[in-house]
Amino acid sequence: MTGRHTTPPATAPLPLLSDPALLSELHRDMLRFARLQLRDAELAEDAVQEAIEAALMNAATYAGTATLKTWVFGILRNKIIDILRRGSRSPLLSTVIGSDNDDEDGAIDALFRANGHWHPGSRPAAWAAPEESLENKQFWAVFEACLDHLAENVARVFMMREMLGLETAEICAELGITANNCHVILHRARTGLRGCLESNWFVKGACRTC
Amino acid sequence: MLSCKKASRLCSEALDRELGLRERLALRMHLMMCSGCTNYHDQMAFIRRVTTRFADGDLPPHGETGSCSEDTPENR
């Protein structure tokens, strides 16, 4: 498990990109990530191809400070952002989110009593050893399932912000939504993920101790 | 006095914009008195770490055996 943190020497000829088996595994992981972000198999394949080509062409600039996979994923994220910026905004996204443009959010309201306090059942519990979960691949399966459980448009805004690292101002401009709307959606996404992780991993999940 | 609903919203917004002084003070006071929102606040930071690692492709290696499979009291 610690092996994946081993940093290849900067002079190594990028073994991950020249070994067919490793490259195929990397390609699969990149494609999954790109599909999640772009929700389009062809665009995702384009992004991955462009990222791998760019990585191969710029191999000399790889400083060896990040793991190679992290470095390649950084390139992939930039390619995905390029594609999002090039493309037209999704009409589905703007209509669904545009219809939900006030400060209140039913999904959030349901967690609170009328006086604004948490409902006893939704009050956030303390999580045991969350950091250890990061090394457990079953945790990541739960995380992906929880991500998948968010409404598609909510998940898209969340991923643009948290995974692609776009500022909310750019997300607003890209999707034609207000800053307030963006904050409402991100609040809903984070709260939804939090509740899902809590009930499927940290509290009810039986893996807490491993 | 901030409600938990508003406090949770500020915990989330703090990840997207710089809160004003008044917002920061109100949130800090609320968190001192509210363990539920303190958990929420800490978990927001954790979720950001999770998403950052996910976006870096920095996940535990794929394998056939789950690390939890042996000592998980799943069916107790």
Does B2 score more than 90 pLDDT? yes
A56-65 LR contacts (CB < 8 Å, sep 24+): A56/A14, A56/A17, A59/A13, A59/A14, A59/A17, A62/A10, A62/A14, A63/A10, A64/A7, A64/A8, A64/A9, A64/A10, A64/A12, A65/A7
Does A12 score more than 90 pLDDT? no
Please report the domains of chain A, with CATH numbers, ordered by start residue.
2-86 (1.10.1740), 91-202 (no CATH)
Which of these, A56, A136, A58, A151, lies nearest to A96 by C-alpha position? A151
Question: Taking CA atoms, what residue in B is nearest to A126?
Answer: B39
Query: Which residue, chain included where needed, has tokens 């948490």?
Result: A118
**Structure token pair of residue A96:** 């669904």
DSSP letter at A66 equals S
Cβ distance B46 to A130 less than 8 Å, yes or no, reads yes
Residue A15: strand, helix, or coil: helix
Element (H, E) at A55: helix A41-57
Nearest CB partner across the interface for B55, out of A109, A163, A190: A163
**Any CB–CB contact under 8 A between B43 and chain A?**
yes
Tell me the C-alpha distance between A91 and A99, whole Å: 12
Q: In DSSP terms, which residues pair with A112 in a beta bridge?
A: A118
| Sign of the torsion formed by the C-alpha atoms of B26, B27, B29 and B33 | positive
Cβ distance B47 to A193 less than 8 Å, yes or no, reads yes
What does the pLDDT look like over A121-179, one tens digit per residue? 899 999 999 999 999 999 999 999 999 999 988 999 999 999 999 999 999 888 888 89
Enumerate the residues of chain A whose CB falls inside 8 A of the CB of residue B19: none
Tell me the C-alpha distance between A26 and A76, whole Å: 11
With both helix axes pointing from N to C terminus, report the angle between A152-162 and A91-98 in degrees, rounded to the nearest 10: 100
Instruction: Assess contact for A155 and B42: CB atoms under 8 A.
Output: no
What does the pLDDT look like over A103-126, one tens digit per residue? 567 888 899 999 999 999 899 999
pLDDT at A104: 60
Show me where the domains of chain B are located.
4-55
Cβ distance B37 to A116 less than 8 Å, yes or no, reads no
What is the ipTM for the molecules in this complex?
A: 0.83
Enumerate the residues of chain B whose CB falls inside 8 A of the CB of residue A191: 8, 12
Rounded to a whole number of angstroms, the distance from the CA of B69 to the nearest CA of chain A is 9
Instruction: Assess contact for A187 and B9: CB atoms under 8 A.
Output: yes
Rounded to a whole number of angstroms, the distance from the CA of A76 to the nearest CA of chain B is 10
Cβ distance B49 to A134 less than 8 Å, yes or no, reads yes
Q: Which of A190, A202, A204 to probe the B interface (max B CBs under 10 A)? A: A190
| Sign of the torsion formed by the C-alpha atoms of A45, A46, A51 and A57 | positive
Q: Where are the alpha helices (DSSP H) in chain B?
A: 4-13, 21-33, 35-55
